[in-house]
A and B are shown apart, each in its own frame.
Chain A
C-alpha cells in the first residue's frame, strides 16, 4: 500500500484521462449532488452539502470540504448493471451477438457503501455457476477512487452493516479529505492504483496525516443517522412472515419501486423481446425490473405477489434474510438511499425495529 498527500485533484483527473478513462464524480446538477462526467476538479461540489431524511433530500451550502456530503441519489450500479442492455439480435432466424458496451470509467468519490454494493453485486453476477460476462467486462473497465466518508447523512447506517464509513478494500485509490491545510491523504488499494499514485505530484504522508485521517473516519462513525440491530435479524424475519406489520407498511407503500431502483445491490431484471419495423430484426433486451411490480411475479397470467404487503415483505426479507442463504452476505450495505428516496419516507431501519 502506497500513501501520499495530494494538494490538488486535477493531476489525478488529468492522469486518468490520459489513461483513457472518462472521469465520473459528484457535481451539483438538478438540485442534487450526483455523479456526472467531470471536466476538472472545479466541477466537484466544493462548498455544498446535502441533508437527507426519510423521503427528503435537500441541497445546502456547506463549508470548505469538497466531499462534505453523503450518498448520491443514484447508485453506481448504473455503470456495472445498466438500466437497459441489448443481449442479442436475430435476423432471418439467425442470432447475432451484440458487443458489450464497457467504456473505461474512473469513478471518483465512491463511498465505502458503494464499494460494498459492488462487492455484493460481484457475488450475484460472478459468483454462481453462470457468471454474467457483460457484468465482468463493465466491472473490469472501472477504476475506483474511493473517498472516505466524513459527513454521513441522516439516513446512513453503514456502520451497523459493517461496510463503512472507512473504505478498506475494493478500491484502486482511497482518499481522505483533510483540512488545515486542505489536502487529501491518498492510499493505493491495487497495483495500478499504486502506479498511478507514484506518478502524481505529492508529498510523503506523515503520522500526523494518518492520525487526522483516522479521526475523520472515527468521527463519521459516531454520526450515523440510522442504526440497524443485525443480531438475529435473519431468523427473525422468517418468523415474522404473518406479522400484521406488513399490512401496515403496505398502507404507506406506493409499490412505485423507487427503493429498488436506487438500491446499489438490487439486481433484478426482466427480459423484453422486440421487433424492428425498419429491418425486420428481432432483439432481446435486459431491463431493470423490481419485486414491487406486478409483472415481476406474473405466472400463468396472474401475479403471485399481488398485495403491497407481500411485495414489501419479499423485498425486506430478501435483503436481510434470504439473501444470506443465497449469496452469503446481506443484500443491504446501509447507504440509506431507499429511505431518502422513498416518496412516502418508509424507513427500513424503523420497520426492522418494529418487526423485532
Chain B
C-alpha cells in the first residue's frame, strides 16, 4: 500500500484540514493509502520513505530550509497544497517590507525570533511534482490528486480562468451584472467559483490563470471605481509572489 505523509510549514493548517474534511471520501482514502505521517490527525510518526508527501506552508525560517530538504529526500512524490506552499501565502507580504520591523512591533523580545527575510514557496528550494492552488485548497482537487497518483494518471486540474467554472455553475457575472470587482478572469479555476456563487467577487486565492491579462482587467476595475491602492491590496493578499506586479499593469 502506498504511504502518505502530510507536512506543515508556515501555514494556518486549513489545507491539511481539507483532507480531514473529506468526510465520506476520507474512509476511501484511508482504505487505499497508508496515512503514515499526519500529525494533525494522529501522533503516530511512521518512518519514511513515503510514496506521496503533501506539503502545506511556506518556507520562512532557517529550520524550514533544512526540513524541506529532508521531506524531499524521504518522498517519492512531493505535492504542495495551498497558496502558502505554492506561492508564499499571506505571510509573503513581508517580502514587500522589512520583516525585522514587523518582529519589533509584534514581539516583546524580537531577538528570540529566527526568521527569513522572505516567505518563499516550496518550489524555490526543492523540486516539486505538482502544485495545488488555493487558500484553502479545494477538496475535490485534493481527492483528484490522490486518485490520479494512485491510478498513475495525469491529474485533471485545469489552468483556465475561474469564469469557466462560474458560467458552468450558472452564476451571472458579478462584475458585469453588479459592478462588483472580481479577479475571476485572471485567476485559475479550481474552487468551483465559490465566491461569485455567493455574489462576492473572486479575490484570487488560486493565483494567476494560464494567460492572465491583468492590464485589461485593471482598466475595467479602475472604471468600476478601484484606485491603485485597492488594486495593490486585492492582488497582494494570498499570492504576492505569483501575481507579482499585476496591480501595476
Q: Which residues of A are interface residues toward B (Cβ below 8 A)?
A: 30-32, 34, 55-59, 73-74, 78, 83-84, 251-258, 261-262, 272-278, 282, 287-290, 292-295, 306, 308, 340-345
Q: What is the total of A-B residue contacts with beta carbons within 8 Å? A: 138
Q: Mark B175-191, 1 if CB is under 8 A from A, else 0.
A: 11111001011100000
Number of contact residues on B: which range applies?
35 or more
Residue of B nearest to A30 (CB): B172
Q: Are B186 and A254 in contact (CB under 8 A)?
A: yes
Give 14 A-B contacts (CB < 8 Å), ordered by A residue: A31-B172, A55-B175, A58-B177, A59-B177, A254-B186, A254-B212, A256-B186, A257-B167, A261-B163, A274-B147, A278-B28, A289-B164, A293-B210, A294-B160
Chain B residues positioned under 8 Å from A252 (CB to CB): 216, 219
Interface: B62 (CB within 8 A):
no
What is the CB-to-nearest-CB distance from A95 to chain B, in angstroms, rounded to a whole number?
Answer: 17
Known: A73-B172, A254-B213, A274-B156. A31 touches B147 (CB 8 A): no
Chain A residues positioned under 8 Å from B147 (CB to CB): 274-277
User: Which of B25, B168, B211 has a CB less than 8 Å from the CB of A294?
Assistant: B211
| B window 154-171: CB within 8 A of A | 156, 158-161, 163-164, 167-171
Q: Are B161 and A256 in contact (CB under 8 A)?
A: yes
The docked-state distance in angstroms from the alpha carbon of A31 to that of B182 is 16
The docked-state distance in angstroms from the alpha carbon of A262 to that of B167 is 7
Q: Are A73 and B173 in contact (CB under 8 A)?
A: yes
Q: Are B176 and A340 in contact (CB under 8 A)?
A: yes
What is the CB-to-nearest-CB distance from B150 to chain A, in angstroms, rounded to a whole number?
Answer: 7
Q: Are B144 and A274 in contact (CB under 8 A)?
A: yes
Known: A256-B185, A275-B147, A288-B168. A31 touches B177 (CB 8 A): yes
User: Which of B148, B160, B215 has a CB less than 8 Å from the CB of A295?
Assistant: B160
Interface: B2 (CB within 8 A):
no
Known: A56-B176, A277-B28, A278-B25. A251 touches B215 (CB 8 A): yes
Interface: B143 (CB within 8 A):
yes
Chain B residues positioned under 8 Å from A57 (CB to CB): 172-173, 176-177
Chain B residues positioned under 8 Å from A276 (CB to CB): 147
User: Which of A74, A290, A344 has a CB less than 8 Å from the CB of B217?
Assistant: A344
